[in-house]
C-alpha cells in the first residue's frame, strides 16, 4: 500500500513553501543584512548552530524570497579558499571556467559588471564555511572589504556549526573585520512535533499517520533537537510500513527507522573536521578494518604513513589523545580503557559503532582529496 504521496517532501533538500519557526531568524537577517545592502551598505554575518536546525533551509528560503537581490548560494564543504568559492559563484553567473589564477581584482570586476547589467546587489551565502574560514582568513578580510576596495556591493553570510569566533584565530582582533552573528538553536519537542506533522500533511496520505505516532517521532528527535532527524525518521518509517503492506505507520516502524538512521554521521559533521582530524579518523577506520575495534598504539603507529599516502603534512603539535577526544565529543568514535590480558597492561581502545567503517572511510577519503 502506498503511504507516501509526495516523496520529494521527505527529501533532505526539500524547501517548504513557508518556513515556520525560523521567522525570527529570517527577520534578523533581513534587518542586519538585506536592508543595509538595499540601502548601499555591505556587511558580513556569521550564522551558526548545531546540525539539523534549519540553517541551510533558511538560507535557501532567503534565496527564494528576496528577488530584488542576487542571492548566490555556495556549499563550500570541499573548499579551503575564498577565491574558490568566488570562482564557483562566477561560474553560476555564467562565466564559464574562470581560471583559478584570476586575481581578486578581476573577480570583483566581473561582479561589478554583473551588477551594472542587472541593477542587483549581491548577497553571497557560503554554507559549510568552516574549512574555508579556517584556512583562508585573509580571503575573508578581502571579501569583507570588497566594497571599499573594488566598489562591489556585496554582503556575505557564512554558515557553520560552530561559532567562527572559536576556530578562526584573531577574527575579533586585529584583522579589522566587522561582522554580526546569529545563532540557530535546537528545536524543542513541540517544534519538532509541528515540523513533522506539517511534513506528514504534505507528504503522506491522511490514513498513514496520527498524532500519537508523530509525537513518538518528535520525542525520538528531541535528543538531537534536529528537524533532520525527525524528518528522516518519518521518511524511513513510512517506507518500512509500506514495505510490510500496512496502511498506517506503526511504532515498530519508527523503531526500525531509528535503528537505520545516523544523526551523527552527516556530511556536515565530517566537514567540521580539519585535515589532521580527518586523517586520524581515516587511520582509525583503517586500523579497525574488518575487526571490532582498534587501539591508540595502532593508530599512533600508522598515522604518519597514512598522512604521507595522502600527501598531507600533519601539524607538528598534533596530539593523538586530544584529537581523539574531539572525535569522541563529536560522537564520531567511542573509546575506553581496556585490559589487554594478564600483565600486558591497559590500552585505550577505539570503536566506531554507528556506521559501517567502509562507508565512513570512503566519505573521509573524498573530503581529504578535496582539501589536500
Q: Which residues of the shown chain bind ligand ATP in the complex (CB under 6 A)?
A: 12, 14, 16, 19-22, 51-57, 161, 195, 227-228, 231, 266, 268
Q: Which stretch binds Mg ion (CB under 5 A): 16-24, 27-35, 47-55, 78-86?
A: 47-55
Please say which residue, 22 or 239, places its beta carbon nearer to ligand ATP.
Answer: 22
Please say which residue, 150 or 265, places its beta carbon nearer to Mg ion.
Answer: 265
CB of 129 to Mg ion, least distance (A): 10
Please say whether the beta carbons of 307 and 331 come within 8 A.
no
Could you give the CA distance from residue 233 to residue 20 in angstroms, rounded to a whole number?
20
231 binds, among ligand ATP, Mg ion, none (CB under 5 to 8 A by kind): ligand ATP
Please say whether the beta carbons of 360 and 368 come within 8 A.
no
CB of 21 to ligand ATP, least distance (A): 4
Could you give the CA distance from residue 96 to residue 87 in angstroms, rounded to a whole number?
10
B/e letters for 153-181, b = 16+ CB within 10 Å, e = fewer, are: bbbbbbbbbeebeeebeebeeeeebebee
164 binds, among Mg ion, ligand ATP, none (CB under 5 to 8 A by kind): none
Could you give the CA distance from residue 9 to residue 200 in angstroms, rounded to a whole number?
9
In three-state form (DSSP H/G/I as H, E/B as E, the rest C), the secondary structure along 24-66 is HHHHHHHHHHHHHHHCCCCCEEEEECCCCCCHHHHHHHHHHHC
Could you give the CA distance from residue 91 to residue 98 in angstroms, rounded to a whole number?
7
Q: Which three cell numbers stand for residue 341?
A: 590480558
Please say which residue, 229 or 288, places its beta carbon nearer to ligand ATP.
Answer: 229
CB of 164 to Mg ion, least distance (A): 15
CB of 172 to ligand ATP, least distance (A): 23
Please say which residue, 56 or 152, places its beta carbon nearer to Mg ion.
Answer: 56
Residues making up the chain, counted from first to last: 372
Number of residues engaging Mg ion in binding (CB under 5 A): 2
CB of 228 to ligand ATP, least distance (A): 4
Could you give the CA distance from residue 84 to residue 98 in angstroms, rounded to a whole number?
10
Q: How many CB atoms lie within 10 A of CB 90?
A: 19
Please say which residue, 57 or 283, places its beta carbon nearer to Mg ion.
Answer: 57
Q: Which stretch binds Mg ion (CB under 5 A): 25-33, 50-58, 237-245, 309-317?
A: 50-58
Q: Does the protein bind Mg ion through residue 226 (CB under 5 A)?
A: no
Q: Which stretch binds Mg ion (CB under 5 A): 53-61, 86-94, 107-115, 232-240?
A: 53-61
Q: Which residues does residue 8 pair with via DSSP β-bridges, in sequence order?
A: none
Helix (H) / strand (E) element for 358: namely: helix 357-371
Please say which residue, 202 or 312, places its beta carbon nearer to ligand ATP.
Answer: 202
9 binds, among ligand ATP, Mg ion, none (CB under 5 to 8 A by kind): none
Please say whether the beta carbons of 130 and 76 come within 8 A.
no
> Of 248, 241, 159, whose CA–CA distance to 208 is shortest?
248
When CB distances to ligand ATP are compared, the closest residue is 54
Please say whether the beta carbons of 23 and 155 come within 8 A.
no
Please say which residue, 55 or 236, places its beta carbon nearer to Mg ion.
Answer: 55
CB of 143 to ligand ATP, least distance (A): 21
Q: 314 — phi, psi (to 5°)?
A: -75, 155
Q: Does the protein bind Mg ion through residue 160 (CB under 5 A)?
A: no
When CB distances to Mg ion are compared, the closest residue is 56
Q: How far is CA 186 from the centre of its chain?
A: 14
227 binds, among Mg ion, ligand ATP, none (CB under 5 to 8 A by kind): ligand ATP
Nearest-Å Rg of the Cα atoms of the chain is 23
Q: Does the protein bind Mg ion through residue 57 (CB under 5 A)?
A: no
CB of 272 to ligand ATP, least distance (A): 9
CB of 32 to ligand ATP, least distance (A): 19
* Among 56, 144, 155, 266, contact with Mg ion (rule: CB under 5 A): 56
CB of 8 to ligand ATP, least distance (A): 11
Binding site for Mg ion (CB under 5 A): 55-56
Amino acid at each position: 500500500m502506498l503511504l507516501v504521496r509526495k516523496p520529494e517532501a521527505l527529501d533532505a533538500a526539500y524547501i517548504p513553501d513557508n518556513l515556520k519557526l525560523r521567522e525570527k531568524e529570517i527577520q534578523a537577517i533581513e534587518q542586519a543584512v538585506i536592508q543595509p545592502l538595499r540601502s548601499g551598505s555591505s556587511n558580513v554575518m556569521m550564522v551558526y548552530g548545531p546540525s539539523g536546525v534549519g540553517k541551510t533551509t533558511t538560507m535557501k528560503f532567503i534565496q527564494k524570497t528576496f528577488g530584488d537581490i542576487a542571492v548566490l548560494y555556495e556549499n563550500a564543504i570541499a573548499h579551503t579558499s575564498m577565491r574558490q568559492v568566488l570562482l564557483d559563484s562566477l561560474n553560476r553567473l555564467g562565466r564559464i571556467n574562470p581560471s583559478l589564477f584570476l586575481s581578486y581584482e578581476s573577480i570583483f570586476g566581473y561582479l561589478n559588471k554583473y551588477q551594472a547589467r542587472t541593477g542587483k546587489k549581491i548577497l553571497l551565502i557560503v554554507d559549510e564555511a568552516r574549512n574555508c574560514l579556517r584556512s583562508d582568513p585573509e580571503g575573508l578580510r578581502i571579501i569583507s572589504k570588497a566594497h571599499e576596495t573594488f566598489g562591489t556591493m556585496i554582503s556575505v553570510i557564512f554558515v557553520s556549526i560552530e561559532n567562527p569566533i572559536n576556530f578562526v584565530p584573531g577574527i575579533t582582533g586585529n584583522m579589522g573585520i566587522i561582522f554580526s552573528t546569529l545563532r540557530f538553536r535546537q528545536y524543542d519537542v513541540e517544534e519538532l512535533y509541528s515540523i513533522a506533522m506539517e511534513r506528514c500533511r504534505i507528504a503522506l496520505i491522511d490514513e498513514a499517520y496520527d498524532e500519537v505516532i508523530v509525537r513518538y517521532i518528535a520525542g525520538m528527535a528531541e535528543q538531537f533537537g534536529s528537524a533532520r532527524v525527525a524528518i528522516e525518521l518519518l521518511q524511513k518509517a513510512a517506507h518500512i510500513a509500506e514495505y510490510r503492506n500496512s496502511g498506517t505507520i506503526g511504532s515498530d516502524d519508527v523503531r526500525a527507522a531509528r535503528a537505520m538512521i545516523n544523526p551523527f554521521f552527516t556530511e556536515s559533521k565530517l566537514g567540521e573536521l580539519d585535515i589532521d582530524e580527518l586523517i586520524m579518523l581515516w587511520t582509525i577506520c583503517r586500523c579497525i578494518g574488518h575487526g571490532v575495534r582498534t587501539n591508540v598504539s595502532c593508530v599512533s603507529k600508522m598515522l604518519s604513513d597514512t598522512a604521507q599516502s595522502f600527501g598531507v603534512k600533519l601539524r607538528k603539535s598534533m596530539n593523538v589523545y586530544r584529537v581523539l577526544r574531539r572525535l569522541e565529543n563529536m560522537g564520531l568514535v567511542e573509546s575506553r580503557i581496556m585490559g589487554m590480558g594478564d600483565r600486558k597492561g591497559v590500552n585505550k581502545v577505539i570503536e566506531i559503532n554507528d556506521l559501517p567503517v567502509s562507508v565512513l572511510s570512503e566519505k573521509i577519503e573524498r573530503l581529504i582529496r578535496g582539501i589536500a
